[in-house]
Amino acid sequence: MGQLFFFFGTLRDPALLDAVIGNSSHVTLTPAQLPGYEVCSVAEGPFPTILANEEAFAEGLLVAGLRAEDVSRLDYYESAFGYSLHSKALDDGRQAQVYFPQPDLWTPDGPWSLTDWSRDHGRLSILAALEVMTYQGTKSPGEVGLMFPMIRARAWASMNAEKSIHGARTLDGQVTVARTRRPYANYFALDEYDLTHERFDGGTTPEVMRAVFRAPDATLVLPYDPVRDRVLLVEQMRMGPLARGDRVLWQLEPVAGRLDPGEAPQDAARREAFEEASLQIGDMFSVAEAYCSPGNSSEFYYIYVGFADLPDTASGTGGLISEQEDIRSHILSFEELMAMCDRMELANAPLITSAYWLARHRSRLRAMA
């Protein structure tokens, strides 16, 4: 029969199991219990851990039929999160292999429900698992574990992409991807595609290679005080100008940051405004939902203007020490902002876009205030 396994957590979801091992049609899954243990949520993420409890029974699935390759893939996936196999006796006396976390790795946080997890986090976790498994053989589980926040953020961007509202007057054409490669992945990723696509004349292009920078979605907000008629800009050193050889490495920008998995763009904008400039954002107004550079990047922007109280004391320094941020904020009058746009002294496209949107809607916003 081979080794038996006991799954108590997210691997009980058939779609996630398929994402990890590739195909589970040859695997047999039957309900089972592990005595002396209970399954709990963890404070650090939407997944469970398992704890000793002499009075409890952990509900799960008895898994039979796993092949050596399946176990290798499971080991890779689970060890990325600090889980390893231990042999345990089930309630019927049979021995099964169970993935247990390292001691004290996670913080227990109440009961855990597979149904709730599948509804709230299943799709995101499946997309993330598909990326995780592409690194088997090229990156260690520890490396993948460090990358996992950005992996999940890219998965969230893919889910957001399904709800995009743009696309009017464009071709709904066919793109056929023959091969993909990922020559680089760390905080960001770089993908290469061999593809063909439909032409406007109805034909098809020859196969071409295209590269794309893969990044999570980002939110940006220009804080605006409609009473004082002024804005707040933030300043920090930026890698783009450094890589380009720009003489100006510190850039003026709107408040900006990446969307955490499951986070709405407006919520992310409010969070970033507080983290970067200690600001509370009031009413928010959508400026644009747009790619930063669709020819070579998947990065997608949700851009806002947001009401904020901006006295002279609002400027200063901020940023999260945990993210090595060093940020200085500036208060500018609306007229100063537009004069800088006219003199081409600003090099941040979302900031310039927000400034011109504000110029168009400023009278309405001031009347609202």
Q: Give the residue-averaged pLDDT of 8-24.
A: 96
What's the confidence (pLDDT) of residue 361?
A: 98
Q: Give the rounded percent of residues in the chain with a pLDDT score beyond 90.
A: 91
Q: Using the structure block, give the residue that is written with the tokens 């490396």.
A: 143
Q: Is the dihedral of CA 51, 13, 258, 245 positive or negative?
A: positive
| Paired tokens of 199 | 């032409």
What's the confidence (pLDDT) of residue 44?
A: 87
Q: Give the residue-averaged pLDDT of 345-350.
A: 96
Q: Any idea of the CA torsion for 351, 356, 360, 361, to the nearest 10 degrees? A: 10
Residue 324: pLDDT band (50, 70, 90) is confident
Q: pLDDT, tens digit, for every residue of 213-268? A: 999 999 999 999 999 999 999 999 999 999 999 999 999 999 999 999 999 999 99
CB 326 within 8 A of CB 237: yes
> Which amino acid does the sequence have at 27?
V
Residue 1: pLDDT band (50, 70, 90) is low
What's the confidence (pLDDT) of residue 116?
A: 95
Q: pLDDT, tens digit, for every residue of 109-134? A: 999 999 999 999 999 999 999 999 99
C-alpha to C-alpha distance for 331 and 256, rounded to whole angstroms: 16
Long-range contacts of 355-358 (CB under 8 A, 24+ apart): 355/222, 355/231, 357/287, 357/288, 357/305, 358/222, 358/224, 358/231, 358/305, 358/334
CB 298 within 8 A of CB 261: no
Residues in CB range of 296: below 8 A, 6 or more apart: 211, 212, 213
Give Cα separations from 283 to 222, 228, 260 (angstroms): 12, 16, 21
Active site residue 323: yes
Q: Using the structure block, give the residue that is written with the tokens 């957001």.
A: 160
CB 303 within 8 A of CB 314: no
The catalytically annotated residue of 44, 289, 323, 325 is 323
Residue 338: pLDDT band (50, 70, 90) is very high
Q: Is the dihedral of CA 163, 169, 174, 176 positive or negative?
A: negative
Provide the pairing of β-strand 300-307 with 218-225. Answer: parallel
Cite the DSSP H helix spans in the chain.
Answer: 14-21, 68-79, 114-134, 141-161, 239-244, 265-277, 334-342, 349-368
Per-residue buried b or exposed e for 117-144, using 16+ beta carbons within 10 Å of the residue's own CB: bbeebbbbbbbbbbbbbebbeebebeeb
| Paired tokens of 212 | 């794309």
N-terminal to C-terminal alpha carbon distance within the chain: 72
The mean pLDDT value of the chain amounts to 95
Q: Give the rounded percent of residues in the chain with a pLDDT score beyond 70.
A: 100
Q: Give the residue-averaged pLDDT of 31-38.
A: 96
Ordered by where they begin, the domains of the chain are 5-149 (3.10.490.10), 175-214 (no CATH), 218-368 (3.90.79.10)
Q: pLDDT, tens digit, for every residue of 128-179? A: 999 999 999 999 999 999 999 999 999 999 999 999 999 999 999 999 999 9
Per-residue buried b or exposed e for 87-113, using 16+ beta carbons within 10 Å of the residue's own CB: ebebeeeeebbbbbbeeeebebeeebe
Is residue 11's pLDDT more than 80?
yes
C-alpha to C-alpha distance for 9 and 11, rounded to whole angstroms: 6
Strand pairing partners for 61?
A: 7, 31
What's the confidence (pLDDT) of residue 67?
A: 95
